[in-house]
Amino acid sequence: MKKTVTQLADGRELIYYDAAGPGGPRGLPDRRDLGRAVASSEVRTDPLLGEPVGYAAHRQDRTHLPPADQCPLCPSAGGRLTEIPDPDYQVAVFENRFPSFGGSTGRCEVVCFTSDHTASFAALDEERAALVLHAWTDRTAALAEHPGVRQIYCFENRGREIGVTLAHPHGQIYGYPYVTPHTARVLDSVAAHHRATGRNLFDDLVARERAGGERVVLETAHWTAFVPYAARWPYEVHLYPRRRVPALPALDEAARAEFPGVYLELLRRFDRIFGEDAGPTPYISGWHQAPPERAGLPAAAREAFALHLELFTIRRGAGKLKYLAGSESGMRAFVSDVLPEAAAQRLREVASR
């Protein structure tokens, strides 16, 4: 693997990741006339819930659904200059021009999975998927050392129905300046379970799913994928490595080598859930990791966390979306239209033959 670090015209960092093998040099200069990048983010805390809320007014001007010939994530070519100065790339990561968090209040990055505007993650081969995993891991390790970062979330939003504003296959990495409410709640549950039983909640949860089997979607030597017992979304899959680790850099080589095939199979099954006529399935996919050491989490609590990926869609049927109703949006009281056991059965039915 080759890593090339350079800068864009406004001072933002750009990193190219290339698989081993022949290839030309990376890092052509960014010839755009851009002023210095400025991020004006603010975080406030809700006094009733005790939860942080971020504000980033500069994002009002971010690029919104440009035509393909104006995509800022495609390589620069034919005199058209983009966020990627080189005429081609494999995987590229750069600081978001319109970040939700930035400067001393965290950091946001864009991860471009391929230079092919018409592709998708599911269309990648295993070598490219492995390169993306390497980029996620490398950036997780780097952001763990960032003084303003307290949690790292590598994720992809796919599909206009989800709210994606750029069609090019890409994801993002958020370096939050706080531990997110979701993770804080999980950490509390893990600690309470250990006090009550002396065992690890993640280990017990995965063991229960593997023993029962009715919600297991896919099992390999190093990974287990299942629909959770209390899934909130119509089709939701959680993917765990067999050996519990707190974050991506701790994955062993065996799990790392097997991940591309497992993940690509899950994504391809998602695209088959509703039939070919339904089109690509919109989804959100993201890595849940323990907060880095600088977040102040006790070492034992960090080691008790289990790295896992959560993949879900808001589509509940062909041509039907799961809109959050007033009770769900206003009170966080979810009611799902699909039983987890039925969702798991469907995801087994559409396995690659």
117 labeled part of a ligand binding site: yes
288 labeled part of a ligand binding site: no
- The answer to whether 335 and 328 have CB atoms below 8 angstroms apart is yes
Q: Counting beta carbons within 10 angstroms of the beta carbon of residue 224, is it exposed (0 to 12), middle (13 to 18) or buried (19 or more)?
A: buried
**Which tokens is 175 given?**
């370096």
What's the length of the chain? Answer: 353
**How far is it, in rounded angstroms, from Cα 21 to Cα 2?**
9
Contact partners, residue 276, CB within 8 Å, separation at least 6: none
238 labeled part of a ligand binding site: no
- Taking residue 347's Cβ as centre, other Cβ atoms within 10 Å add up to 24
Name the helix (H) or strand (E) containing 91: strand 91-95
Does 170 qualify as catalytic in the annotation? yes
Going by C-alpha positions, the residue among 110, 13, 22 that lies closest to residue 71 is 110
112 labeled part of a ligand binding site: no
- The catalytic position among 58, 170, 288, 308 is 170
> Which residues fall in the annotated binding site for Zn(2+)?
71, 74, 117, 168
Active site residues: 170
> Which residues fall in the annotated binding site?
71, 74, 117, 168
